[in-house]
Amino acid sequence: MKKVVLAYSGGLDTSVIIPWLREKYGNDLSIVCYAADLGQGKELEPLKEKAIKSGANDIYIDDLKKEFLTDYVYPALKAGALYEGQYPLATALGRPLIAKKMVEVALKENADAVCHGCTGKGNDQVRFDLAFATLAPHLKIIAPLREWDMKSREEEIEYAQKHGIDVPVTKQTPYSLDLNLWGQSIECGVLENPWTEPPEDAYKLTQAPEQASDTPAYITVSFDKGIPKSVDGTDLEPLELVEKLAKLGYDHGIGRIDMVENRLVGIKSREIYEAPVATILFEAHKALEGLTLEREVSHYKQKMSHDYANMVYYGQWFSPLRQAMDAFITSTQEWVTGDVRLKLFKGSVTVVGRKSPNSLYDEALATYTEEDVFDHASAEGFIRCFGLPLQVTGSRDLKSKK
């Protein structure tokens, strides 16, 4: 093996992987690091020096924020994708994008392998491996954490020092974190006990609801074909829009999620998520769909949301099924244009109004006033036919009891 592209964060694991790869595959191995900015709020420029210091040959650093939002996050928003009804999939959506970019680098650089620092008991390894397998089946996949027997931070530091590598010693957080524009995933430490309330220091994207303002904020989010385009009448680029909602979400303590979820590898794990922007946008989007989607489309789409979320969670982003679902979802979004008014208050987001030029809500049909145009008499015949199978079954059951 001559060349490998490594998903690199500059943290301890991916730094230690560099000397480990050399030890295993020889000193001539060329190691090209790949670091992506998905809005984790960390300056990535310093990673250049860090990677070289840790023994890498080269590094690519890409700003993927916009692409992440438009090509990964927004499709998932339109799909209503929440894993197990709660998790907005921030981490799960980031992986396929990083993997895709790594494959591009690997092909350009003529590399033989790709490498990531995911552990053997998580979901992220599945997402990376399946994306690599779909996009570049010929590349070898190396996952050192599945192979090596180092179990603690101390062991890893010792290993690096033994190999004369300058590993970054950063301030240690008691949690395992993954952050991007769609939210933060928080695991480990005291959170491993599902009975323990998360300490305040676990959170970063939201202030505690009890600290939030006593005055609610009212905002209007407008969508065009299912895509959020403006806040309070001001058109915003995807990144600006997300940043604006992130600030509002922080201030009002929106989007803290505490759940025990079913991992793909079979383990149940306690997860804390912070997803202020996702929480606001999912609520708003759902409300607009309520107004604009025909009933059967709406019901069918809800079933698909569940499958779509599972596919994203299970690392099937590049699968033909997920792409075909996207085609269906895009078609449903044709009419999802309009405005949603939301109230943000002490941790909750409540829809208080919605309107659309494509609304299917007909007040003349819905009203209980004199303006009513609905033909009440027609209901009787409808119910008779609709209920006929039940009526026939009822008669049979009554007879059989005699």
Task: Give me the active site residues, please.
Answer: 13, 95, 124, 176
Q: Is 124 in the site for ligand ARG (CB under 6 A)?
A: yes
| Alpha carbons within 13 A on the beta-carbon side of 110 | 2
Residue of the chain from 62, 112, 156, 178 that contacts ligand ARG (CB under 6 A): 178
**Radius of gyration for the alpha carbons in the chain, expressed in angstroms and rounded:** 25
Per-position DSSP letters for 75-109, written without gaps between them:
HHHHHT--BTTTB--HHHHHHHHHHHHHHHHHHHT
Run of H or E residues at 145: helix 144-147
| Residue whose token pair is 């769609």 | 182
Q: How many residues bind ligand ARG (CB under 6 A)?
A: 9
Looking at residues 10 to 29 of the shown chain, list those that interact with ligand ARG (rule: CB under 6 A): none
Per-position DSSP letters for 296-360, written without gaps between them:
HHHHHHHHHHHHHHHHHHTT-TTSHHHHHHHHHHHHHGGG--EEEEEEEETTEEEEEEEE-TT--
Binding track, positions 316-355, relative to ligand ARG; x by CB under 6 A = ----------------------------------------
- Residue 111 or 272 having the CB closest to ligand ARG: 272
Closest contact distance (angstroms) between CB of 146 and ligand ARG is 14
- Residue 148 or 328 having the CB closest to ligand ARG: 148
Closest contact distance (angstroms) between CB of 395 and ligand ARG is 53
- Residue 178 or 274 having the CB closest to ligand ARG: 178
Q: Is 187 in the site for ligand ARG (CB under 6 A)?
A: yes
Looking at residues 247 to 306 of the shown chain, list those that interact with ligand ARG (rule: CB under 6 A): 271
- Residue 180 or 332 having the CB closest to ligand ARG: 180
Q: How far is CA 361 from the centre of its chain?
A: 31
35 within 8 A of 10, measured Cβ to Cβ: yes
Closest contact distance (angstroms) between CB of 186 and ligand ARG is 8
Q: Is 125 in the site for ligand ARG (CB under 6 A)?
A: no
Angle between helices 90-108 and 124-135 (to 10 degrees): 40
What is the distance between the alpha carbons of residues 164 and 19, in angstroms, rounded to a whole number? 9
Q: CA 333 → CA 56, 78, 177, 359, distances in Å?
A: 45, 7, 33, 13
What is the distance between the alpha carbons of residues 56 and 314, in angstroms, rounded to a whole number? 31
Neighbours of 29 (CB within 10 A): 18
Closest contact distance (angstroms) between CB of 175 and ligand ARG is 9
What is the distance between the alpha carbons of residues 25 and 224, in angstroms, rounded to a whole number? 51
Residue of the chain from 2, 49, 140, 176 that contacts ligand ARG (CB under 6 A): 176
Closest contact distance (angstroms) between CB of 258 and ligand ARG is 13
**Nearest CA to 311 among 154, 127, 155?**
127
- Residue 27 or 170 having the CB closest to ligand ARG: 170
Closest contact distance (angstroms) between CB of 205 and ligand ARG is 15
Q: Is 173 in the site for ligand ARG (CB under 6 A)?
A: no
**Nearest CA to 308 among 120, 78, 153?**
78
Any idea how long the chain is? 402
What is the distance between the alpha carbons of residues 91 and 101, in angstroms, rounded to a whole number? 16
What is the distance between the alpha carbons of residues 378 and 146, in angstroms, rounded to a whole number? 66
Binding track, positions 66-105, relative to ligand ARG; x by CB under 6 A = -------------------------xx-------------
Residue of the chain from 184, 185, 206, 332 that contacts ligand ARG (CB under 6 A): 185
- Residue 185 or 356 having the CB closest to ligand ARG: 185
- Residue 187 or 283 having the CB closest to ligand ARG: 187
Q: Is 123 in the site for ligand ARG (CB under 6 A)?
A: yes
- Residue 44 or 221 having the CB closest to ligand ARG: 44
Closest contact distance (angstroms) between CB of 123 and ligand ARG is 4
| Residue whose token pair is 């996009």 | 135
Q: Is 156 in the site for ligand ARG (CB under 6 A)?
A: no
Closest contact distance (angstroms) between CB of 271 and ligand ARG is 5
Pairing of the two strands 3-7 and 227-231:
unpaired
Given the rule CB under 6 A, which residues bind ligand ARG? 91-92, 123-124, 176, 178, 185, 187, 271
